[in-house]
């Protein structure tokens, strides 16, 4: 995964519209575990795709998805 995507995920978790504590609770994780999973420097902890989708659903932040699409030469748009 690119550094831009990793940083966007970390930013969403740490500084997004839902507090770290609330987000971790909604995901069934401890805040410490969630922080490890989104830390690009921690190569032993991994963030699963299902968890990432839930993070974006809960927060409404889709920047990581947009960056993934860009890397694949796609664009996304909302169907709202």
Domain 3-71 sits in CATH at 1.10.260
pLDDT at 66 over 80: yes
Mean pLDDT of all residues in 11-36: 98
pLDDT band at 78 (very low <50, low <70, confident <90, very high): confident
User: In three state form, how does the secondary structure of the chain look?
Assistant: CCHHHHHHHHHHHHHCCCCHHHHHHHHCCCHHHHHHHCCCCCCCCCCCHHHHHHHHHHHCCCHHHHHHHHHCCCCCCCCC
Tokens of 8: 């966007």
Angle 3-35-28 (CA atoms, 0-180°, nearest 5)?
Answer: 125
Domain boundaries, the chain: 3-71
């Amino acid at each position: 995964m690119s550094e831009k995507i990793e940083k966007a995920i970390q930013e969403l978790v740490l500084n997004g519209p839902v507090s770290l504590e609330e987000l971790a609770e909604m995901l069934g994780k401890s805040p410490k575990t969630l922080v490890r999973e989104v830390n690009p420097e921690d190569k032993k902890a991994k963030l699963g795709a299902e968890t990432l989708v839930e993070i974006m659903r809960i927060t409404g932040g889709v920047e990581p998805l947009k960056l993934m699409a860009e890397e694949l030469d796609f664009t996304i748009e909302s169907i709202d």
